[in-house]
Amino acid sequence: MKDISSREDVELLVNEFYGKVRKNELLDHIFDDVVKINWEHHIPILIDFWESILLDVNKYSRNAMAVHVEINQKIKLEPIHFNTWLSLFDETVDQYFIGEKASLAKTRAHSIASIMELKMQQINRASSVH
């Protein structure tokens, strides 16, 4: 196995990971039924996102948090969703890569998921109070 070092490596990671997400019974309906995601359009955006994070390439300029807040308005994102996503992500990284960038990918995924999960919990608590 090798480390993540090119866009092709990021493409492999993203494609394999989201292949698992699309087969996961907890997550698949969020993407396919709730969000009705166009995978052909979205996968290159995800590749740009992860390439920017892992390889210091400036290709992603969107607001990932805003997108997830929108999703959370359609279906409440709970800790189990984030934990499942992270488990599949870590599994995919470990299946294909080893090294500094592979470790960075998992660290960044956990950091991003923690921040998003906290934000969604705050939003969900605030909306349940009203």
Give tens-digit pLDDT for 2-49. 999 999 999 999 999 999 999 999 999 999 999 999 999 999 999 999
Q: pTM for the complete prediction? A: 0.90
Note whether residue 110 is domain-resident. Answer: yes
7 Cα distance to chain centroid: 17
Q: Which domain holds residue 109?
A: 7-129
Identify whether 1 is part of a domain: no
What total of structural domains would you count in the chain? 1
Q: Residue 122 sits in a domain of what CATH number?
A: 1.10.490.10
